Chain A
């Protein structure tokens, strides 16, 4: 599914022609995580309307690709659903770049099951045992007598990394887990399988699947913000040095509680608290 997404992630080049006036246009190129992409898409659309002198081109391709593009000087802003890695910083420094991190939103992960599943609440330890392959049957955790079909994200995704860190505590997900290449296909797979369990970002929740509570905490924006909800992570953008010029204007716009952060919640992520 990522393949499709990447293919379809059209270059969004918004330009408004002003005939007769030779206005100097500033160009901002943004690349990176497909998780952050929907936020950026929404934000750049309204930003471009307010700032006709800025040319924005936006494309997705994954956190790793975005950071690589920043390192190679192919973009000014790299979107990432994970923090930058040590060897990526080294590579960037060797090319004279200095990646600076800015948090832009909170993505909270939520475990999901088929709507017909009677199980409604699991603890982190139970989720871990399911994903380790120790709990194999729904009846062991109060469900019907059927085998649990474990659905996970591919091991390179930022979503998987968050899950591995917070839920798995660095233990390995069983090789029997079905790895899906995007959150959309996790929803698709869970909604089509009565015995499936999966996990996705808040932004991908829809009525075709049922979200699980964790030890009576319900997954929603306020529990994610207060960090009561245990599985959450920050989404970032990276720039070379502190953001400057049009890139700074765009990031300020993105962090503005009345503007960019509204788009963040519209897309389904959780806005950063107290701007």
Chain B
């Protein structure tokens, strides 16, 4: 029979090994991404790539200007946050500050279920229900546009934003609320001026994670954003966010051709964006870390 210390060590290494697996996976994927993406810049200028305004990957000569795609991604993400952030944070505030325990027990799983909806289902909803509505009632030239995509992505980021914000609000010590109420503030004033600011770092993290979810989402934007590679001038213009371009074109791009490398290079840009969002989320969380009840 093996001794207890040996078993301990075995378990120790088994756990360390499983933790390392995801690290290796991340490292491997990153290496692959850069390995396949960087060759583009051997014969295509980085500035032309990032700021060129035409994406004609199969033309002769090809043009790989991703500026409209980046603008499309940012516009869609910004619009989605504009809708999802107030909705998510206020829902979280309602759940922690106002709702009774019973309502909370029912509502929270429902909101989390929204996150479990497959994105293709949300995409279908946008295509079949929202798009004709935008055309018939709001006079959009096409219902497959920036607004539709932003709205659908907002649906997808609300659960993330709400769930993390709710945890942050819930973690605000009771003593802060009690002190505020004792000083004569109303419940609304307490929520707005005491609880929300105290949980700001958690909410910031929630917003950033929600945004990184929105910018990387592929299926929804592929289905409802319209796919026009031009700079949007109104919220009813069709756009072509980066993930949609990659998903639509990768299968047909000749292996290891310029177009193939260009799609990976878009992947790098996208990766840097999500990385930035995650770093911001992390630094917001650690910089404004709530210490004990003196977090304010």
Residues of A in contact with B (beta carbons under 8 Å apart): 1-4, 6, 34, 61-65, 67-68, 71, 85, 87-88, 91, 147, 149, 154-158, 160-161, 164, 170, 172, 175-181, 185, 188-189, 192-196
Contact = CB atoms under 8 A, between A and B. Distances in A.
Interface of A is mostly: mixed
B150 interface: no
B8 interface: no
B57 A155 contact: yes
Given A68-B255, A192-B132, A180 B227 contact: yes
Interface string B249-293: 111111111010000000000000000000000000000000000
B247 A193 contact: no
Nearest to A65: B251
B88 interface: no
Contacts, number: 114
- The 6 A-B pairs of least Cβ separation, nearest first, read A62-B251, A156-B252, A179-B227, A181-B248, A156-B249, A175-B230
B248 A87 contact: no
A179 B56 CA distance: 12
A189 B144 contact: yes
B131 interface: yes
Contact of A62 (B141, B218, B240, B252): B252
B66 interface: no
A196 B142 contact: yes
B222 A64 contact: no
B223 A64 contact: no
B143 interface: yes
Interface of B: 54-60, 68, 120, 127-128, 131-132, 135, 141-144, 218-219, 222-223, 226-230, 238, 240, 244, 247-257, 259
For B127, B131, B218, B226, the residue with the greatest tally of chain A CB atoms inside 10 Å of its CB is B226
Contacts of A157: 252
A107 B222 CA distance: 25
A88 B253 CA distance: 11
B227 to A, nearest CB: 4
Given A185-B223, A195-B141, A178 B228 contact: yes
A172 B227 contact: no
Contacts of B59: 155, 172
A196 B60 CA distance: 28
Nearest to B58: A155
B141 A155 contact: no
B251 A6 contact: yes
Given A64-B252, A192-B135, A2 B247 contact: yes
B56 A172 contact: yes
A170 B60 CA distance: 9
Contacts of B256: 91
A207 B53 CA distance: 38
Given A3-B247, A175-B54, A175-B228, A193 B252 contact: no
